[in-house]
Amino acid sequence: MPSAAAPADLDLNLDLIARAHAVPVPDDETALKLLTDEELRPGLEAVVADRTGGNDLWVFAYGSLMWRPEFAYDERRLGTVRGFHRRFCLLQRRFRGTPDRPGFVLALDRGGLCRGVAFRLAGTDVHETLMPVWRREMRGMGYVARWLPVVTDGGTVPALTFLVNRASDRYSGRLADAEIADRIAAACGNLGPSAEYLYRTVEACAALGIRDRHLWSLQRLVAERLRAQIALTAGPA
Number of independent structural domains in the chain:
1
State the catalytic residue, choosing from 29, 38, 70, 137.
Answer: 137
Taking residues 201-216, what's their average pLDDT?
A: 95
- For residue 7, pLDDT beyond 60: no
Pick from 110, 92, 111, 113: nearest CA to 101: 92
- For residue 4, pLDDT beyond 60: no
Is 128 catalytic? The answer is no
- Residue-wise pLDDT for 90-121, tens only, equals 999 999 999 999 999 999 999 999 999 999 99
Is 210 domain-assigned? yes
Can you say whether residue 141 is alpha, beta or left, with left for phi > 0 and alpha for psi between -120 and 50 degrees? left
Is 40 domain-assigned? yes
Query: Measured between alpha carbons, how far is residue 184 from residues 58, 69, 163, 167, 202 in Å?
Result: 30, 22, 20, 22, 14
Is 147 domain-assigned? yes
Q: What is the residue range of 126's domain?
A: 14-230
Is 7 domain-assigned? no
Is 173 domain-assigned? yes
pLDDT of residue 53: 77
Any idea what the CATH number is for the domain that residue 175 is in? 3.10.490.10
Is 153 domain-assigned? yes
pTM flag (> 0.85): yes
- The span from the CA of 100 to the CA of 216, in Å, is 26
- Residue-wise pLDDT for 55-99, tens only, equals 899 999 999 999 999 899 999 999 999 999 999 999 999 999 999
Is 129 domain-assigned? yes
